[in-house]
């Protein structure tokens, strides 16, 4: 899957997940895109914000009708019929997303999307809202940030919306073509398009694939498998009430996957990423000895001696069976720090002598 950049569009990256059919649609004002989309945060878990499939209805926008999120028209214009693509968009393009999402959610709930809205421009309305009525959207309004959009384009209509030869097709043929495009067996389904049952079934498979890749020391590929499994579970967890039974059962599956991911990152030398994810894990599970152990190793790797020793000591306290491993790590840490101090002293002495000779 190669990453490409949309030409002449700053702050946008595109990945084609599944190729489309035919040429790019020829568009003019009045052409209508029909598509499914998923909106995600640009974080480790790729937190899902909106999913048109979950809402049970596709999205439609009309070219030239000043849709509030202008970048979507640009993104869709780069796609062929049947294409599935992932777009990373910088915050300069996503500032209006909270208002757009608010309207779409209200429509899905059978409510008036403009209820309570003053007749002003979009940016003006943003300041009129004390709250969108949705906590996650309020957060996006307070802290504009890059977002990821996964889009599946399955229809473009308009006077020139279809290629000329397709304009001549009968309605039944067009519907057949559309059905072929939407057939989930036509391409490997990505996690964003999976049902709840499919996501649950995918997790142990991804976990097993990750373990197999670790044995082959293919740590980057293994990390990607663990991360994908975490994304599946986090998407499901978002629909559960935090700390209740359903949420906790999913969390019990997430934890070992995050730890496996962190182990891969240790092997790859991504120590600060390990510090980030283990710290986040320990904020929820402060008795997890393995998380402390991996964080301690990351601290040691970046010369945080005090923090490393504290975490190693916690490990020995929480899990006496790891005492031998902790003792070995502390010995190695002491040796590394002593060597570093000797090297630092020599370096400083050299600098001092050089300055004295000037």
- DSSP line for 20-76: -BSSPPP--TT-EEEEEEEEEESSTT--EEEEHHHHTS-EEEETTS--SSHHHHHHH
Number of domains in the chain: 2
Side-chain-side CA neighbours of 356 within 13 Å: the count stands at 6
Task: Based on the fold, state whether residues 222 and 80 are members of the same structural domain.
Answer: no
The average pLDDT across 149-173 equals: 57
Side-chain-side CA neighbours of 100 within 13 Å: the count stands at 19
pLDDT bucket at 49, cuts 50 / 70 / 90: very high
**Of 99-103, 170-174, 236-240, which gets the smallest average pLDDT?**
170-174
From CA 22, how far away is CA 80, in angstroms rounded?
Answer: 7
Q: Which of 126, 142, 157 is the last residue of a domain?
A: 157
Task: Based on the fold, state whether residues 10 and 149 are members of the same structural domain.
Answer: yes
Q: Which domain holds residue 104?
A: 5-157
pLDDT over threshold 80, residue 107: no
Distances (CA, A) of 284 to 189, 242, 251, 262: 32, 11, 10, 16
pLDDT over threshold 80, residue 77: yes
**Of 15-19, 31-35, 126-130, 177-181, which gets the smallest average pLDDT?**
177-181
Residue 278 CB coordination number (10 Å):
27
pLDDT over threshold 50, residue 323: yes
Task: Based on the fold, state whether residues 235 and 293 are members of the same structural domain.
Answer: yes
Q: What is the pLDDT of residue 272?
A: 94
Q: Structure tokens of 88?
A: 């990373």
Q: What is the CATH number of the domain that holds 133?
A: 3.10.50.40
From CA 296, how far away is CA 330, in angstroms rounded?
Answer: 10
Asked if residue 356 belongs to a domain, the reply is no
- Find the largest Cα–Cα distance for the chain: 90
Task: Based on the fold, state whether residues 28 and 121 are members of the same structural domain.
Answer: yes
3-state class of 203 per DSSP? helix
pLDDT bucket at 115, cuts 50 / 70 / 90: low
Q: Smallest Cα–Cα separation from 181: which of 310, 63, 84?
A: 84
User: Which phi and psi angles does 39 have, rounded to 5°?
Assistant: -110, 130
Task: Based on the fold, state whether residues 224 and 114 are members of the same structural domain.
Answer: no
Q: What is the pLDDT of residue 158?
A: 60
pLDDT over threshold 50, residue 279: yes
pLDDT over threshold 80, residue 55: no
**Of 174-188, 286-300, 329-343, which gets the smallest average pLDDT?**
174-188
Q: What is the pLDDT of residue 276?
A: 93
Average of per-residue pLDDT values in the chain: 80
Q: Which of 132, 157, 182 is the last residue of a domain?
A: 157
pLDDT bucket at 181, cuts 50 / 70 / 90: very low
Asked if residue 264 belongs to a domain, the reply is yes
Cβ burial of 315 (10 Å; 0-12, 13-18, 19+) is buried
pLDDT over threshold 60, residue 1: no
pLDDT bucket at 10, cuts 50 / 70 / 90: confident
Q: What is the CATH number of the domain that holds 274?
A: 1.25.40.10
Q: Smallest Cα–Cα separation from 230: which of 206, 212, 254?
A: 254
Q: Smallest Cα–Cα separation from 255: which of 288, 222, 225?
A: 288
Q: What is the pLDDT of residue 149?
A: 96
The average pLDDT across 226-242 equals: 89
From CA 344, how far away is CA 348, in angstroms rounded?
Answer: 6
pLDDT bucket at 120, cuts 50 / 70 / 90: very low
**Of 227-241, 250-264, 290-304, which gets the smallest average pLDDT?**
227-241
Question: Do 230 and 260 form a contact (C-beta atoms < 8 A)?
Answer: no
pLDDT bucket at 196, cuts 50 / 70 / 90: confident
From CA 70, how far away is CA 65, in angstroms rounded?
Answer: 10
Task: Based on the fold, state whether residues 37 and 124 are members of the same structural domain.
Answer: yes
The average pLDDT across 161-183 equals: 36
Q: Which of 157, 187, 210 is the last residue of a domain?
A: 157
Asked if residue 333 belongs to a domain, the reply is yes
pLDDT over threshold 50, residue 324: yes
What percent of the chain is modeled with pLDDT above 70?
78
Asked if residue 14 belongs to a domain, the reply is yes
């Amino acid at each position: 899957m190669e990453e490409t950049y949309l030409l002449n569009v700053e702050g946008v990256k595109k990945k084609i997940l599944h190729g489309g059919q035919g040429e790019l649609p020829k568009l003019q004002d009045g052409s209508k895109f029909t598509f499914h989309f998923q909106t995600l945060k640009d974080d480790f878990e790729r937190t899902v914000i909106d999913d048109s499939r979950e809402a049970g209805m596709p999205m439609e926008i009309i070219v030239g009708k000043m849709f509030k999120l202008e970048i979507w028209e640009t993104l869709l214009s780069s796609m062929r019929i049947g294409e599935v693509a992932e777009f990373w968009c910088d915050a300069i393009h996503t500032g209006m997303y909270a208002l757009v999402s608010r309207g779409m959610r209200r429509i899905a709930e059978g409510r008036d999307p403009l209820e309570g809205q003053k007749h002003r421009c979009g940016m003006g309305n943003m300041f009129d809202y004390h709250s969108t009525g949705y906590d996650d959207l309020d957060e996006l309004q307070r802290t504009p940030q890059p977002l990821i959009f996964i889009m599946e384009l399955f229809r473009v209509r308009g006077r020139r919306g279809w290629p000329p030869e397709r304009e001549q097709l009968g309605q039944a043929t067009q519907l057949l073509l559309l059905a072929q495009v939407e057939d989930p067996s036509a391409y490997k389904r990505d996690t964003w398009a999976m049902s709840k049952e499919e996501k649950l079934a995918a997790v142990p498979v991804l976990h097993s694939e990750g373990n197999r890749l670790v044995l082959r020391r293919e740590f980057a590929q293994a990390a990607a498998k663990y991360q994908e499994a975490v994304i599946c579970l986090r998407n499901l967890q978002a629909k559960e009430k935090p700390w209740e039974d359903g949420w906790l059962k999913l969390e019990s599956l997430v934890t070992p996957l995050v730890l496996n991911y962190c182990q891969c990152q240790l092997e790859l030398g991504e120590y600060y990423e390990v510090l980030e994810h283990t710290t986040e894990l320990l904020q929820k599970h402060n008795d997890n000895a393995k998380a402390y152990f991996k964080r301690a190793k990351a601290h040691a790797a970046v010369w945080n001696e005090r923090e490393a020793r504290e975490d190693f000591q916690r490990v020995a306290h929480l899990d006496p069976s790891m005492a031998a491993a902790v003792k070995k790590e502390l010995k190695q840490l002491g040796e590394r720090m002593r060597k570093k101090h000797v090297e630092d002293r020599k370096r400083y002495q050299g600098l001092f002598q050089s300055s004295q000779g000037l």
